[in-house]
């Protein structure tokens, strides 16, 4: 590469590096510094690891961490498996109206978070459409209190997240499936492999990089979960659906502002993301 071409390349690279440093790395470093301080604004004072020690005795933080991990452990595998199954079906060239089905399943991803949260609250209300249908089908005798019962409120959040993000992961799997040479499946057919054998011995191994990518993305998104609990259940009842991100928001804007403690809790998310991503990369390593 000539020196002239290199100079032109740096013209495009330098602005991006500058913006990343200013809007990504500087806030991260500043948040880390703030996590060792207490107070507000100019009154911040260095307190060492006091904010981190406080987490050990903070019942609300433990509840938020527990809820977030529950959503992660239950919802992410369900969503990934569902997206894989749907993409495998919709990749079949013999299926009619494939484009329509793909669009319909992907549409929730572009739906306004606030709008669909309001609709979900209406659908899953005590006298809402879902309870009416379940009672008419004789699946339940009494309406389920989706929003006011701690267990069912968690189930509702999991349903909402799965509904919204399954189509997003499905698109990645469809792209991966379309990149697999059809001759591989033809050879498997000649060898007498059935549909399940083709899926587990051809599709899954060849989709491994895509599965790793979507799993890490979904993990990061779930650890940062905020919109659905905030708009559907407002973290209730009795903090049964509060997440770490919601607790950070409450510390900054609802309770007495505590920037240092909120910054310390935000780094819990960072640490969890790093640890879980490393585990997933290790699990996805072919070596």
Specify the pLDDT at position 286.
60
Task: Please name the residues in contact with 232: beta carbons below 8 A apart, sequence gap of 6 or more.
Answer: 117, 120, 121, 147, 156, 157, 160, 241
The pTM assigned to this predicted structure is 0.87
CA–CA separation, 166 vs 84, rounded Å? 9
44: left (phi over 0), alpha (psi -120 to 50) or beta: beta
Range of lowest pLDDT (20-34, 43-57, 104-118): 43-57
- pLDDT tens for 125-154 read 988 899 999 999 988 888 999 998 999 999
Helical packing angle, 259-283 and 26-34, nearest 10°: 120
Specify the pLDDT at position 284.
67
Average pLDDT of the residues in 200-207? 85
Specify the pLDDT at position 76.
93
Under the banding of pLDDT at 50, 70 and 90, the label for residue 79 is very high
Percent of the chain residues past pLDDT 70, beyond the cut: 95
Average pLDDT of the residues in 260-273? 90
Under the banding of pLDDT at 50, 70 and 90, the label for residue 67 is very high
CA–CA separation, 143 vs 260, rounded Å? 43
Specify the pLDDT at position 278.
87
- pLDDT tens for 46-63 read 777 888 888 888 899 999
Q: What is the mean pLDDT of the chain?
A: 87
Average pLDDT of the residues in 150-176? 92
- DSSP track, 48-67: TTHHHHHHTT-HHHHHHHHH
CA–CA separation, 73 vs 86, rounded Å? 21
More confident residue, 5 or 178: 178
């Amino acid at each position: 590469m000539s020196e002239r071409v290199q100079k032109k390349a740096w013209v495009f690279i330098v602005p991006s590096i500058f913006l990343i440093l200013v809007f990504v790395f500087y806030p991260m470093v500043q948040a880390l510094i703030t996590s060792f301080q207490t107070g507000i604004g100019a009154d911040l004072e260095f307190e060492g690891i006091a904010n981190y020690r406080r987490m050990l005795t903070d019942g609300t933080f433990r509840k938020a961490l527990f809820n977030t991990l529950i959503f992660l452990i239950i919802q992410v595998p369900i969503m990934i498996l569902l997206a894989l199954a749907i993409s495998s079906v919709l990749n079949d060239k013999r299926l009619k109206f494939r484009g329509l089905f793909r669009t319909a399943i992907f549409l929730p991803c572009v739906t306004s978070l606030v709008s669909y949260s309001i609709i979900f609250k209406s659908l899953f209300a005590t006298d809402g459409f879902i309870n009416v249908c379940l009672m008419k089908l004789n699946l339940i005798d009494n309406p389920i209190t989706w929003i006011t019962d701690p267990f069912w409120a968690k189930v509702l959040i999991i349903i909402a997240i799965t509904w919204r993000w399954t189509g997003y992961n499905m698109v990645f799997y469809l792209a991966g499936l379309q990149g697999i040479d059809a001759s591989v499946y033809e050879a498997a057919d000649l060898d007498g492999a059935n549909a399940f054998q083709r899926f587990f011995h051809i599709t899954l191994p060849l989709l491994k990089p895509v599965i790793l990518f979507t799993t890490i993305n979904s993990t990061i998104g779930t650890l940062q979960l905020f919109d659905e609990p905030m708009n559907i259940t407002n973290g209730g009842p009795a903090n049964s659906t509060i997440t770490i991100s919601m607790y950070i928001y409450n510390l900054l804007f609802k309770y007495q502002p505590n920037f240092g403690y909120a910054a310390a809790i935000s780094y819990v998310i960072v640490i969890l993301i790093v640890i879980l991503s490393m585990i997933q990369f290790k699990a996805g390593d072919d070596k």
